[in-house]
Amino acid sequence: MKPVFVGHADYQLFVLDQLRRHYTHGLAVLVPRDWPIIWKCLISDLSHTATFLRDSYADKGPAPRDPASMLRSYLLFLLVRSEIGITAWVDEMYRVPLYAILSGFEPGDIPGVGTFYDFLTRFWASEAKNFKSKSKPKKRKPKRGKKGEKAPTTSAGKVKRLVDYLLRSGAKLQKQPFDRLLEFFHSQIVYVSAKLGLLGDMDALTLAGDGTPLVTSSYPRSKPTCDCSAQGLANCSHRRLYSQPDCDSGWDSAREKYFNGYHLYMLSAANSQHDLPLYPRLQPASRHDAVSVVVSSIEFTQRFTLGTVDKILLDAAHDAEAIYEWLEHQHMEPFIDLNNRKKKNTDTDSDMQISPAGVPICPIGKEMKPNGYDNTQNRQKWRCPLACGSKNTCPTPCSTAKYGRTYHTFKADNLRLFPKTNRQSEAWKKLYKRRTSVERSNKREKIDYKLEAGRHRSTKMWYIRIYGIMMCQHIDAWYAHHKDELKKKQEQFFTNAS
């Protein structure tokens, strides 16, 4: 049977009535730490979940649980007890009536574990639980990265070949099983944050991107498809059946050890004061950030309809000319820290040289000073550092002009060394400071919300858990935005009850 729409106002009345009935007569007490959770539930309008998932329910059969209450209960589970599983969460709602009430259930009338999994599956637009087949060849561990650096890509020139292919053939929209999750997240969660002004300027949005290891198990679990082991052949090349086919082994550069699981690549709103996430992508653990950003940027821009992306902030692991070309093709201005792979200056057709950081070097070895960007000709102007004062102090000036020697670098000559916003400028430094917002967002997911505590064996459930945590991050920001006015309402609660 199709679900019945329950308005958010009806849910709020239900919760307030239940709280007054159970918590104003001395039988149970609400402590101060309960109120942030109560308000987060009360201000989060999830009523359109029933409308959004209506097509996934049959026309006949028993009446289903309210989809908004099911989703609200799952988010509440992530807010208060994310380290336990759904089975333990059902027991927790029986033990703590407050959690049942905030979910939208009558105390004692709690849905079962199977009901939760059946509901969550409705957000996954595929019969398969994983992207890949469980049968695949055994894969070797990737190479170790240098201390503090990401592991190298599996093959040299992989990023350039990928970008060249996309520029040549175009990036076509490919449907993904998580599209339903993403659509709900953008339309019901991100939309609210944008309206509250929590994401920055939506007409010129600035993104920050970074990858982080997501450990799902201690080691890969697989079964053989042959009897080579019984015949004494230890290292056969036959395919194996993996319980987590989308996972493999990767190198964790921060902890300097191998791990098994996914490579979670996250795009977040860089100008958000609350470091709010916008788009997650689960890749194999062995995948490099430089490959992930190409895939993620394509999928995100094809699906994001709430604004226009203007800039993207990335760390030095993304410092490849092919990435600059691709982001420029997508009309995003890249802000990427240089990975100085060489130490020598580059010669030019004149007596000037270019440093590894993209700064012109004058004949006596002085770095030229940036002097503005010419948008009409797409070139950066540089000026003699010894002529920037009231007079030219160079003992051997290479120009007779009183203004001093000038030099121009063109973005078209080298997108990597000569970006539109100069790396030595205050504008670049000020904006690039916001790149760490994505790292703080990843930290909240992995540490505060205990992302890796999920004991899932399918990509489907890992995506559902990630999106649930991202929704909680946005709800936390809504609560912080309305915190002062909610405190006043809290003081009136028991006054009105008496």
CB of 301 within 8 A of CB of 330?
Answer: yes
Say whether both 141 and 242 belong to one domain: yes
pLDDT value of residue 25: 67
Q: Which of 122, 152, 176 finishes a domain?
A: 122
Instruction: Please report, for the domain that includes residue 290, its CATH number.
Output: 3.30.420.10
Say whether both 391 and 453 belong to one domain: no
Asked, for residue 409, whether it belongs to a domain, the answer is yes
Say whether both 158 and 265 belong to one domain: yes
Residues 6+ apart with CB under 8 A from 420: 333, 373, 378, 411
From residue 431, alpha-carbon distances to 270, 334, 378, 452 in Å are 9, 11, 21, 31
Asked, for residue 484, whether it belongs to a domain, the answer is no
Asked, for residue 319, whether it belongs to a domain, the answer is yes
Q: Which residues of the chain have pLDDT under 70?
A: 25-27, 145-156, 341-342, 490-498
pLDDT value of residue 452: 95
Please tell me the distance from the alpha carbon of residue 457 to that of residue 461, in angstroms, as a whole number: 8
Say whether both 145 and 115 belong to one domain: no
Number of domains, the chain: 3
CA angle 300, 302, 304 (to 5 degrees): 60
Say whether both 332 and 364 belong to one domain: no
CB of 57 within 8 A of CB of 3?
Answer: yes
Say whether both 117 and 196 belong to one domain: no
Please tell me the distance from the alpha carbon of residue 24 to that of residue 308, in angstroms, as a whole number: 49
pLDDT value of residue 349: 81
Q: Which of 122, 153, 185 finishes a domain?
A: 122
Residue span of the structural domain in which 445 resides: 135-224+237-338+434-459
Say whether both 264 and 316 belong to one domain: yes
What letters, b where the CB count within 10 A reaches 16 and e where it falls short, cover 164-198? eebeeeebeeeebbbbbbbebbbebbbebbbeeeb
Asked, for residue 191, whether it belongs to a domain, the answer is yes
Question: One-letter amino acid identity for 53?
Answer: L
Say whether both 142 and 266 belong to one domain: yes
Please tell me the distance from the alpha carbon of residue 201 to that of residue 276, in angstroms, as a whole number: 14
- Closest among 209, 269, 428, 425 to 335, alpha carbons compared: 428
Asked, for residue 277, whether it belongs to a domain, the answer is yes
Say whether both 318 and 360 belong to one domain: no
pLDDT value of residue 68: 97
Say whether both 201 and 285 belong to one domain: yes
Say whether both 50 and 107 belong to one domain: yes
Please tell me the distance from the alpha carbon of residue 49 to that of residue 5, in angstroms, as a whole number: 9
Asked, for residue 325, whether it belongs to a domain, the answer is yes
Asked, for residue 210, whether it belongs to a domain, the answer is yes
Please tell me the distance from the alpha carbon of residue 323 to that of residue 245, in angstroms, as a whole number: 28
pLDDT value of residue 155: 58
Q: Which of 122, 153, 186 finishes a domain?
A: 122
pLDDT value of residue 138: 79
Say whether both 175 and 58 belong to one domain: no
Please tell me the distance from the alpha carbon of residue 73 to that of residue 93, in angstroms, as a whole number: 9
Asked, for residue 495, whether it belongs to a domain, the answer is no
